[in-house]
Structure 1
């Protein structure tokens, strides 16, 4: 580390400490480490000719970690110009002092409102940026409208209103880049999976040549103060060549990744989630997209069409077997989810109480037995309060419940978003008990070693939205009713699903937190179920007909 870089890194820490975490979150100020900035510029050097004359641009400069790495990796004789933008004078003024004797032209201004150069000679041919990580809910309505308009005018991309500020930075910068310019972006990897990232992916596939996407291990957090899973995206400002393939890498560093995989642009265009690629197991999963479904009568392949087509492979997904829903959201668990002691203290009527499962961290078992009335046999017993009667009727017939509800009004529970959009506000959405549940989020580095748990529920307990509830579809439900012993086999099949399969469908956040939404879990290939389904020809046939 050079003396100047050491000075810059210490200066950045001092400037960060002078701000609150909230202030930095609002502007998305999460500095790039020296090691990562150096790795990024080292990789850029390998992509550029040795005599390349650099016109450098960093639209979110901070104190200049990338510029510092640029000066260490390239001689000054190669750097024709260096331009930076920093919106916050708190950092910008100090950066101007620090780099005053170098070629840097740093403007303290909002890059998204700046005007790009008029001449081609002034456009950047090397852009490296860690854009501000500002989520859409930190942007005002007027700011969103301005950003959407600017982004569309400069790049032709119509971003979703849910897009974070970093998406706008990436698209707006298109107007600042010369033809064939190289760009490296350090951004959250979430754009590869979420709906608002679709337009960004279309830009990367259609308007530029996407070269590489490198993802870090989820527990290898690149920002000490932001739990976000990061990726480095590389592209050239040029239309992609025919039959172009993109390199996806994972783990380690840019210059020494742990896993490499080439994926064609055509495959990427037809893939919703890009985080499946470059993990080392995506090829295995993609090969298993076509699963054989055999008839019970013999080992011959079951015909899946009355039209004589040889449809011998069937992509069986969990969504073909289950209707999957998030558990219910009460809007105020501390008020609506009650212990037996609280029920007794407030003398709440039993007809408005339903058993509900505790949070996964308080659920020590994966199979929930039930007592004679359907209540779960657990150490931690909880009940959900829900009532559809109008308040005047509650007051007349159930004074103790009315009194408790008045406490909710006085404490602002009735004015919470979910509550005030229900009628009455103390009623709950319908979530009947399901025999199978999956935890909504989890980490690998736990005592269980698995991010997700599948629960077998014999009770009449429902669940909150920290669970996904799996309701068997008619064909499977009929099979379970006819042969109850299959219930355990289905549960075992769920538990035998590869962690990689589930993680590949979901999304991951910094620190290694994995999450699954209902649709994502439904997309998981149900390979293990084929060991059960051959003994259920009517289930198999019902599924095959529905999938044709």
Structure 2
């Protein structure tokens, strides 16, 4: 299913300037489905702020023959002899647009596995029908009643086309699942929801969604992605299904913002299993790895965690673990339970020793982060220059020295962070500030929030910084150069006075295999060895008591059990 937010933009483009290929595909699929007698879609509920737009789309749908060219329809007809509607549809958008729409079609093997979850195979309700992948698999498995909801009228008709040969009752609602009031009963509710992130949801639509969610007695974070809204509604409607299954990014269970949702899930005890596809990209253009959730309307006291591998012809279960619900911590990531080894649990958390925060965010690196040559070009004084490290590839080691920084400077890399507020009396600084105004730097979203747009936040050099988005393993870097890292790194600032030897001991441990195992457990896995960790998640990494006992400056603060 695609998000309301992105479809608003696309629908506007279709109405104002129709795309010949997309409209021809839409027309041909709708016409063919009509000829086969496939039941028409039923109009549902939409965001109030977009009702006029959806009325226009309905009119467009009913008059497609006036917008398509005969040769375009013939091209679609010929193409469908050897290709799928999904392939033709995807060609209308580049992968960036499809990613921002939150649209990722479910692979057939995964769809079959999810549809097979219910022992009863009479009725199915597909939330976000898309092109009908789940419903096609359900027909193969003997389901009789096929129901679904989809916000895209184009995908509604592609789904009808794909289901033209199947027998049974079909009811597809064209509407917004998060607002639709009359949802059907079914043996199985199933969904691959839009992966749309919070900032891509228009504010007025988000307010409607939040109001609905809050009416359930649950407060969801305003910065939750759209799939979290879907998940909450599915759980709220559990009286309407016997079983439910849902595929979404692992961040649903691993994000620092998911603790309220996990507390709610632990209270209701309806999760049977989580299946994780660790370090594997199931959806080609998605940024994160997926997890399949299996729900039962009856309560369960344990959850099964499976580590799975999608292969060409099958899905292999690599490992399986059970955890009692009472043992699960809503403040920790869950999906790595499926793949983790036994981790250290006796010690103190890294967040007790360090304040962990992102490096400096400038809001305009090309203006605020300069090379030596650029500094000379604008004749900027030393007083406004702060030594920095701007990119992770500038340090591939586990320490960063003054010699490393000098080498980058000699190579023409950006090594200076500017704080222009340090010397406004300089004519060259004033000239550079005026240049920034002309370039529109002062009006950029982050920059304009500062009291003085050209003033950088004040930071001390952290003794250790870390690559928070890493391939295979992170690098905890000893900051021997005394630089201020940019926000591609996380900075570790001691909360207590630590000696140089103690900092080095902690740094060595953080790069050890034991610590890396913890990092991999805590990090969000984006597939293909890509790991990302947020500051509040890194807080949870445990420093073992054995190491703490060797640091004299820590023994004063830590009570050992």
- State the TM-score bracket (shorter-chain normalisation): 0.7 to 0.9
Are the counterparts in 2 of residues 259 and 280 from structure 1 also a CA contact under 8 Å? Answer: no
Task: Report the Cα offset of residue 156 of structure 1.
Answer: 3.6
What stretches of structure 1 of length at least 5 have no aligned partner? 1-5, 291-314, 445-450
How many residues align? The count is 472
Asked whether 1:188 is paired with 2:188, we answer no
What residue number does 2:48 align with? none
What residue number does 1:168 align with? 229
- Return closer, same or farther for 1:322/1:111 CA change in 2, 3 Å cut-off: closer
Q: How does 1:507-526 map to 2 (within 5 A)?
A: 507-526=524-543
What residue number does 1:145 align with? 207
Identify the range of structure 1 (411-420 vs 183-192) with the bigger mean alpha-carbon deviation. Answer: 411-420
Are the counterparts in 1 of residues 524 and 532 from structure 2 also a CA contact under 8 Å? Answer: yes
What residue number does 1:235 align with? 295
Query: What do the CA deviations read for 1:428-470 (whole angstroms, capped 9, x no partner)?
Result: 11121122221121111xxxxxx21011222232111111222
- Return closer, same or farther for 1:462/1:471 CA change in 2, 3 Å cut-off: same
Query: What do the CA deviations read for 1:73-127 (whole angstroms, capped 9, x no partner)?
Result: x23xxx342111121121111322332342222222223332335xxxx611111
Task: Report the Cα offset of residue 22 of structure 1.
Answer: 5.7
Match of residue 38, structure 1, among 108, 112, 136:
112
RMSD value, Cα: 2.7
What residue number does 1:89 align with? 153
Task: Report the Cα offset of residue 511 of structure 1.
Answer: 4.1
Match of residue 100, structure 1, among 161, 164, 170:
164
What residue number does 2:444 align with? 416
Q: Distance in 2 between matches of 1:411 and 1:66?
A: 50
Q: How does 1:173-322 map to 2 (within 5 A)?
A: 173-174=234-235, 177-178=238-239, 181-207=242-268, 209-218=270-279, 220-238=280-298, 240-241=299-300, 244-253=301-310, 256-281=316-341, 284-285=342-343, 288-290=344-346, 315-322=347-354
Asked whether 1:541 is paired with 2:551, we answer no
Task: Give secondary structure in 1 for the equivalent of 2:244.
Answer: strand
Are the counterparts in 2 of residues 112 and 172 from structure 1 also a CA contact under 8 Å? Answer: yes
What residue number does 1:130 align with? 192
Asked whether 1:457 is paired with 2:486, we answer no
Are the counterparts in 2 of residues 8 and 98 from structure 1 also a CA contact under 8 Å? Answer: no
- Return closer, same or farther for 1:540/1:349 CA change in 2, 3 Å cut-off: same
Task: Give secondary structure in 1 for the equivalent of 2:275.
Answer: strand
Query: What do the CA deviations read for 1:493-534 (whole angstroms, capped 9, x no partner)?
Result: 22114322012223222444212222222220112x734x43
Q: Distance in 2 between matches of 1:8 and 1:26?
A: 28
Task: Give secondary structure in 2 for the equivalent of 1:16.
Answer: helix
TM-score by length of 1: 0.79
Are the counterparts in 1 of residues 354 and 495 from structure 2 also a CA contact under 8 Å? Answer: yes
Are the counterparts in 1 of residues 269 and 325 from structure 2 also a CA contact under 8 Å? Answer: no
Are the counterparts in 1 of residues 256 and 537 from structure 2 also a CA contact under 8 Å? Answer: no
Asked whether 1:56 is paired with 2:124, we answer yes
Asked whether 1:29 is paired with 2:91, we answer no
Q: Distance in 1 between matches of 2:464 and 2:256?
A: 28
Query: What do the CA deviations read for 1:267-323 (whole angstroms, capped 9, x no partner)?
Result: 225543213311131xx11xx212xxxxxxxxxxxxxxxxxxxxxxxx322223323
Q: How does 1:351-500 map to 2 (within 5 A)?
A: 351-370=383-402, 376-380=405-409, 382-388=415-421, 394=424, 397-444=425-472, 451-475=473-497, 477=498, 479-480=499-500, 485=501, 487-496=503-512, 497-500=514-517
What residue number does 2:86 align with? 12
Q: Distance in 2 between matches of 1:190 and 1:472?
A: 28
Match of residue 340, structure 1, among 359, 372, 381:
372
- Return closer, same or farther for 1:467/1:113 CA change in 2, 3 Å cut-off: closer
- Return closer, same or farther for 1:145/1:536 CA change in 2, 3 Å cut-off: closer
Task: Report the Cα offset of residue 140 of structure 1.
Answer: 1.7
Are the counterparts in 2 of residues 159 and 196 from structure 1 also a CA contact under 8 Å? Answer: no
Identify the range of structure 1 (92-101 vs 224-233) with the bigger mean alpha-carbon deviation. Answer: 92-101
Task: Report the Cα offset of residue 398 of structure 1.
Answer: 1.1
Are the counterparts in 2 of residues 260 and 278 from structure 1 also a CA contact under 8 Å? Answer: yes
Are the counterparts in 2 of residues 9 and 34 from structure 1 also a CA contact under 8 Å? Answer: no
- Return closer, same or farther for 1:204/1:316 CA change in 2, 3 Å cut-off: closer
Are the counterparts in 1 of residues 291 and 335 from structure 2 also a CA contact under 8 Å? Answer: no
What stretches of structure 2 of length at least 5 have no aligned partner? 1-79
Are the counterparts in 1 of residues 272 and 304 from structure 2 also a CA contact under 8 Å? Answer: yes
Are the counterparts in 1 of residues 274 and 335 from structure 2 also a CA contact under 8 Å? Answer: no
TM-score by length of 2: 0.77
- Return closer, same or farther for 1:169/1:522 CA change in 2, 3 Å cut-off: closer
